[in-house]
Chain A
Amino acid sequence: MARHATARRWMAALLAVGLLGGACTSAATNQPSTGPASSPGASTATSVPSAAVATGGTLSIAWNSDIQYFDPAKGYDVVSWPAEKLIYEQLLQYDSGTKLLPLLADGMPTVSNGGKTYTFKLHSGVKFVNPDGSVLREMNADDVVASINRVLDPNLKPSASPVAGGFFGNIVGAADVIAGKAKAASGLKKIDDLTVEFDLNQADATFLNILATPFASVLPKEAPHDAAQVATKPIGTGPYVLKAYTKGSQATFAANKSYWQAGQPFLDEIDFKVGVDDNAAIQQIQAGQLDLMGDPLPAGSFTQITTDPQYADRLVTHTLVDTDYLFFDTQQPNNGPLSKLAVRQALEYAIDKDNILKLVHGAGVKADCIFPPDLPGYDPTCHPYTFDQAKAKQMLADAGYPNGFSSTLYTDTTDPDPQIVQALQQDLAAVGVKVNIVTEEFATFLDRIETPHKAPMGWVGWFQDYPDPSDFIDPLLSCATAVQGGANAPLYCNKQVDQMAAQARGETDPAKRLQAYQDIQKAIMADAPWVPVRHQKWFTLVSTRVNNFQLHPVWNYDLRSVSLKPGS
């Protein structure tokens, strides 16, 4: 459900952005973490996956956007999540790749009842810590149960969690809580003080991934069901506490001296400087006044920095688990041209994707299908359409549009999206399709594409929430989301594909499951609701002081593992 401006700068807004991913490791070495782990994990929580050591000092990171929420039930953007990861913890986490490991859980859960029941032992001695650094009390099973019920609460302020139904609806009784008919889901059970059980309606291979998202953070059970109140006093078990926050300017995270894992946290303080322009951030990093930037390199200085040898060892890059695409309203009213399969298929041939990759200075990998590299289920042989404008023109003529047609193409105002749509406009014009461009502020644009038939064509992107192909199919391309407020912008609804997806979701054999998703991908591409264009590649620059910074395949910025070089 992670919608984003396809931009270098992610607009944190409403349902906006979320997770990114993509891996520093190659797809081949990535451990698909989709199968439910069936044995209790070998060791205790191995914590932050890194070789960093505690060095103290203050690390500063700049972001374009501000932190939207300190409440993990609400936060769904690229600035809130890294902040939440410092304060709160979840039952599970990922290693430096996409393999699930225990965090607050004492080992991986036992799975029973045909994959429908997960039983977690909790780590003992985990302490909730107040923002002033004092210990509130130890965490227990009640807190875990209350935290999930909190996400399901339809009366959460200012509004219900965006993922209550989507992520947690499969828990037995969750639907009643979401509907306001019950206070607690019957499938969330405290067995004893350090044991919790999750009962699901259906076996679900992705459920453990959901327990690793910030939405599944464990808060004290007395946490108010009000994001504004949580923001004034966020209490978690994480390695840092929120020491100070000035809206629109800075959030200061101080080391949690009572942290339950020895040797952490690594730093004394982490400063989020928000509202910082990319170009200013680059200059501050070059001048040593800033350590990290939360946004990728801006276009103007991209070539200068990526080609200058002095920055070679400070340039951090990876390919995100993301797909940026041009979509068509597949149910265009009044028998519109885009409602016709032959027209959409013709347009699949019209887009010069290599040119768009050049415009973004090579910050991307060409996309021909839905799933990005590094997502389980990625199919390197999936290239259903190739760039061929003559063929596109011929197909349009055969479909009854020898002179093309006119339409409107929407996107947001964040660079480089306005540039990319101008390139798309020229490509479409070359095959006779004349489009007007409308660029809107991200929240407005998001509202538009989630309202049926308000955008015949649009340019947008999607990052994974968790490393599983279902996160690209269920929210984006299923009949259930082809509705008002759904993320299915092309209103794509193919009953047969829906059925295939339902089967794939319940499939427990990982290999068969991924094969099923590859078949789904092919079936959808044959219907041409999207022209996939690129999978984004992230480039950022770090200061000379920073030690051990890597972009995480799921979290992108996981600052728990960062430290400073000794003596800096």
Chain B
Amino acid sequence: MTAQLVAAGTDYEVSDARGRSRAWDVLRRNPSFWAGSAMVVAVIVLAVAAPVIAPHDPDQQYRREGLNAHGDPIGPSAAFPLGTDLLGRDELSRLLFGARTSLTVGIVANAIATLVGVAVGSIAAFAGNVTVGLGLPGGRRLAVTVPLETILMRLTDAILSFPVLLLAIALVAVIGASLVLVVAVIAGVLWTGIARIVYSRMVVLRDAEFVLAARALGVPAPRILVRHVLPHLTSIIAVYATLGIASTILFEATLSFLGVGVPLPTATWGQMISQHLGYYDTDPRLVVLPGLAIMITILAFNLLGDALADAFDPHRWR
């Protein structure tokens, strides 16, 4: 009750029960939300069920029945509902397994990025300048002020200004392509956006009256951060995490397209496009299908993310 009293009169009503139900009111009346969630659920179900519903092993090359006499891929047939790719593999099975790669990368990389981003953003805002006592020879102590806030946020800016693709290509050349590396590269870059957003909100919150009150009551800083401040950010984190999945999937597709993504022969949508670019004229199916898969998935996460952003916007509750 104390916290709520203190919060009264400020804008930070998001975390109260009324706010949540209002958000839901907006959400359930938003068709984007229903369309987005339906598509997200569909993609996830297809990805999870891929081993069950895929008609073939996605990596199996059907050299006799999957390629025509000229050695070109064949179009849709009973055995291969969406035809085959340039190695005679089943296109539908590769699309389904490609969803697994995309979602794995999208969700794992994005979860890591969100955790790191929230941690860096809130520590920077809350820790500010940290004074560290250093023991000197002779028993004297020296107080050194570490501008943690500046260091963390300038680091974020520095990473934001990295040429990400070049970095990824260089890392692949040195370390070698792998799924882990793709996730690491994406997460290693993506957290910066969330960190900046969280930081900007935190800077406002750290001086809010309810925080001052908590401090005055002697609540330790980590507890204030976790119990009193972070709940205000759940909405914004949810929105950016959802939108982040979309950009992560796209980034993975870009890396795979450039040949520095997940190693062969693992099916990924980006690689499916790049391997068949030369066929855009003679067999556009091979480029269009994985392109559509990427588009639909990203659209789904974007619709969902936008709907969440609208719902958590207090201006929409009137």
Binding site for B on A (CB under 8 A): 278-279, 298-304, 307, 352, 355, 358-362, 413, 415, 418-419, 421-423, 425-426, 436-441, 444
Q: Which of B63, B173, B279 meets A300, CB within 8 Å?
A: B279
Contacts A361-B72, A419-B87, A437-B265; A300 near B277 (Cβ below 8 A) = yes
Cα of A247 to Cα of B106 in the assembled complex, Å? 39
Write out the residue numbers on chain A whose beta carbons fall within 8 Å of the beta carbon of B70. Answer: 302-303, 307, 361-362
Contact residues in B for A361 (Cβ distance below 8 Å): 70-72
- Decide if B282 touches A301 in the complex (CB within 8 Å): yes
Set of chain A residues within 8 Å of B278, measured between Cβ atoms: 278-279, 298-301, 415
Asked whether, in the complex, the Cβ of B263 is within 8 Å of the Cβ of A436, the reply is yes
Interface positions of B from 56 to 77, Cβ below 8 Å from A: 59-61, 63, 67, 70-72
Contact A418 B264 (CB under 8 A): yes
Which residues of A have CB within 8 Å of B265?
422, 425, 437
Q: Can you list 12 residue pairs at the A/B interface with Cβ under 8 Å?
A: A300-B281, A304-B281, A355-B63, A418-B275, A421-B264, A422-B61, A422-B264, A425-B265, A436-B263, A438-B263, A440-B173, A441-B173
Chain B nearest CB, measured from A406 CB (Å): 14
User: Whole-angstrom distance between the alpha carbons of A129 and B71 in the complex?
Assistant: 50
Known contacts A299-B279, A358-B63; 4 further A-B pairs (Cβ under 8 A): A279-B280, A300-B281, A300-B282, A301-B278
For residue B306, CB closer than 8 A to chain A, the reply is no
Closest B residue to A420 by CB, please name it: B87
Contacting pair A360 B275 (CB below 8 A): no
Q: Does A419 lie within 8 Å of B275, measured CB to CB?
A: yes
**Residues A419 and B86 in contact in the complex (CB < 8 Å), given A279-B277, A358-B63, A437-B263:** yes
Q: With the chains together, A436 CA to B266 CA distance in Å? A: 11
Task: Looking at the assembled complex, report how far the CB atom of B214 sits from the nearest CB atom of chain A, in whole angstroms.
Answer: 54
Identify which of B63, B71, B277 gathers the most chain A CB atoms within 10 Å of its CB: B71
Within 8 Å CB of B67, what residues of A? 358-359
Q: How far apart sit A307 and B63, CA to CA, in the bound complex (Å)?
A: 21
Distance in angstroms between the alpha carbons of A300 and B276 in the assembled complex: 7
A565 to chain B, nearest CB (A): 28
Nearest neighbor of B85 in chain A, beta-carbon distance: A419
Q: Main secondary structure on chain A at its contact with chain B?
A: helix
- Which of A307, A413, A418, A421 has the largest count of B CB atoms less than 10 A from its CB? A418
Are B61 and A426 closer than 8 Å at their CB atoms? Answer: yes
Which chain B residues border A352 with CB–CB below 8 Å? 63
Nearest B-chain residue to A306, judged by Cβ: B70
How many interface residues does B have (CB within 8 Å)? 26
User: Which residues of chain B have C-beta atoms less than 8 A from A279's C-beta?
Assistant: 277-278, 280-281
Within 8 A of A (CB), among B266-298: 275-283
In the complex, A235→B55 CA distance in Å?
Answer: 64
Minimum Cβ distance to chain B for residue A322 (Å): 19
Task: Report the nearest A residue to B89, measured CB to CB.
Answer: A422
CB distance from B285 to the nearest CB of A (A): 12
Given A422-B61, A440-B173, A303:B282 Cβ within 8 A = yes
Given contacts A358-B63, A426-B61, contact A303 B263 (CB under 8 A): no
Nearest neighbor of A429 in chain B, beta-carbon distance: B59
Residues of A within 8 A of B177 (CB): 438-439
Q: Is the CB of B259 within 8 A of A422?
A: no
Contacting A at CB under 8 A, from B160-190, are 173, 176-177
A481 to chain B, nearest CB (A): 25
**Shortest beta-carbon distance from B139 to chain A in Å:** 56
Cβ A359 vs Cβ B71 within 8 A: yes
Max chain A CB contacts within 10 Å: which of B72, B173, B277, B278? Answer: B278
Assuming A304-B282, A419-B275, is B63 touching A439 (CB within 8 A)?
no
Report B-chain residues with C-beta under 8 Å of the C-beta of A303. Answer: 70-72, 282
Q: Is the CB of A300 within 8 A of B87?
A: no
Q: Which residues of B contact A438 (CB under 8 A)?
A: 176-177, 263
Contacting pair B71 A362 (CB below 8 A): yes
Whole-angstrom distance from the CB of B66 to the nearest CB of chain A? 11
Inter-chain contacts of B86 with A (CB < 8 A): 299, 359, 419
**Nearest CB of A to B88, in Å:** 8
- B71 near A360: Cβ-Cβ < 8 Å: yes
Cβ–Cβ < 8 Å partners of A298 in chain B: 278
Complex formed: what's the CA distance from A436 to B264 in Å? 8
Residues of A close to B63: CB separation below 8 A: 352, 355, 358, 423
Chain A nearest CB: distance from B63 CB in Å?
5
Most chain A CB within a 10 A radius of its CB, from B67, B177, B265:
B265
B309 to chain A, nearest CB (A): 40
Of all chain B residues, which has the CB nearest A444?
Answer: B173
Given contacts A426-B61, A439-B264, contact A301 B281 (CB under 8 A): yes
Closest to A279 in B: B278
Give Cα A434 to B237, complex, Å.
43
Chain B residues lying within 8 Å of A440, measured Cβ to Cβ, are 173
Bound CA–CA A419/B61 (angstroms):
11
Check if A300 sits within 8 Å of B264, measured CB to CB. no
Give Cα A362–Cα B72 distance, bound, in whole angstroms. 11
Measured CA separation A299–B86 after assembly (Å): 9
A418, A423, A441: which contacts B61 (Cβ < 8 A)?
A: A423
CB atoms of B263 and A423 under 8 A apart = no
**Contact call A422/B87, Cβ cutoff below 8 A:** yes
Residue in chain A with minimal CB distance to B271: A418
Query: A301-B281, A422-B264 in contact; A358/B71 too (CB < 8 A)?
Result: yes
Whether the pair A300, B283 counts as a contact (CB closer than 8 A) is yes
A163 to chain B, nearest CB (A): 27
C-alpha gap A426/B281 in the complex (Å): 29
Alpha-carbon distance between A299 and B70 when the two chains are bound, in angstroms: 11
- Shortest A389–chain B CB gap in Å is 13
Residue of A nearest to B258 (CB): A413
User: What's the minimum C-beta distance from A472 to chain B, rounded to whole angstroms?
Assistant: 28
Q: Which residues of chain B are near A302, meaning CB under 8 Å?
A: 70
Write out the residue numbers on chain A whose beta carbons fall within 8 Å of the beta carbon of B264.
Answer: 418, 421-422, 425, 437, 439
Which B residues are CB-close (under 8 A) to A444? 173
Contact string, B181-204, partner A, CB cutoff 8 A, digits 1/0?
Answer: 000000000000000000000000
The list of the 5 closest CB pairs from A to B, nearest first, reads A300-B278, A300-B279, A358-B71, A303-B70, A298-B278
A279 to B67, CA, bound (A): 22
